[in-house]
């Protein structure tokens, strides 16, 4: 059993498709162990995406992630990290496999509907960034 962090990004929240995205997870044996809707500050986004701070898209990414509400979730299940990434599809929605969340709902590489942890180690860090242990059930 693994846990991973998922974020429904501002584009998908603005489109009112939180439920459609959550259904993808629940229909594929991932359980919502924690969930909240929040608005990040640009500083929060910068801390969360610190690994990307040298990348040319970092500033735009932080602006974007703090431009509207997001939904952060802990997903739990067998192989949750890999399963979530498979359900999301590639970062660039133009390359995402048909039927994936990003192929179906994302607008662009930046407004790409969802974020998911890329490893178990990062999942632990990202979950701890947003949730206290008592909020994960
Ligand atoms: P995410 O999985 O949340 O991790 C970092 C994010 O940076 C990524 O999704 C994209 O939304 C965003 N991003 C913007 N431009 C790029 C780019 N050129 N390459 C990779 N990620 C990008």
In angstroms, the CA 64 to CA 97 distance is 24
Q: What is the pLDDT of residue 81?
A: 98
pLDDT band per the 50, 70, 90 thresholds, residue 26: very high
pLDDT band per the 50, 70, 90 thresholds, residue 71: very high
pLDDT band per the 50, 70, 90 thresholds, residue 82: very high
The CB density around residue 8, as the number of other CB atoms within 10 Å, is: 25
Q: What is the pLDDT of residue 104?
A: 98
- Selecting among 3, 83, 85, 115, the annotated active-site residue is 115
Atom 18 (ligand 1): residue with closest C-alpha?
57
Report pTM.
0.97
Distance 52 CA to ligand 1 centre (A): 9
Largest CA distance in the chain: 39
In angstroms, the CA 77 to CA 66 distance is 29
Task: Describe the strand order of the beta sheet including 70-77 as a list of residue ranges.
Answer: 31-38, 70-77, 2-8, 114-116
Q: What is the pLDDT of residue 75?
A: 99
115 noted as active-site residue: yes
Structure token pair of residue 44: 């929060």
Structure token pair of residue 95: 């390359």
Best probe residue, ligand 1, of 57, 115, 122 (max atoms within 8 Å of C-beta): 57
Verify whether ligand 1 is closer than 6 Å to residue 115 (CB atom).
yes
If you average pLDDT over every residue of the chain, what do you get? Answer: 98
Q: What is the pLDDT of residue 9?
A: 98
Q: What is the pLDDT of residue 108?
A: 97
Q: What is the pLDDT of residue 70?
A: 99
């Amino acid at each position: 059993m693994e846990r991973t962090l998922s974020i429904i990004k501002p584009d998908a929240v603005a489109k009112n498709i939180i439920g459609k995205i959550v259904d993808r997870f629940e229909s594929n044996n991932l359980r919502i162990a924690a969930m909240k809707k929040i608005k990040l500050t640009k500083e929060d986004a910068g801390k969360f995406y610190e690994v990307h701070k040298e990348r040319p898209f970092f500033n735009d990414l932080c602006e974007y992630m703090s431009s509207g509400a997001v939904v952060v979730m802990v997903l739990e299940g067998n192989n949750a990290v890999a399963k979530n990434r498979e359900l999301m599809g590639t970062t660039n929605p133009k390359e995402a496999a048909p039927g994936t969340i990003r192929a179906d709902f994302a607008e662009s590489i930046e407004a790409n509907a969802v974020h998911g942890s890329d490893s178990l180690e990062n999942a632990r860090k990202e979950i701890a960034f947003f949730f206290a242990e008592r909020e994960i059930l």
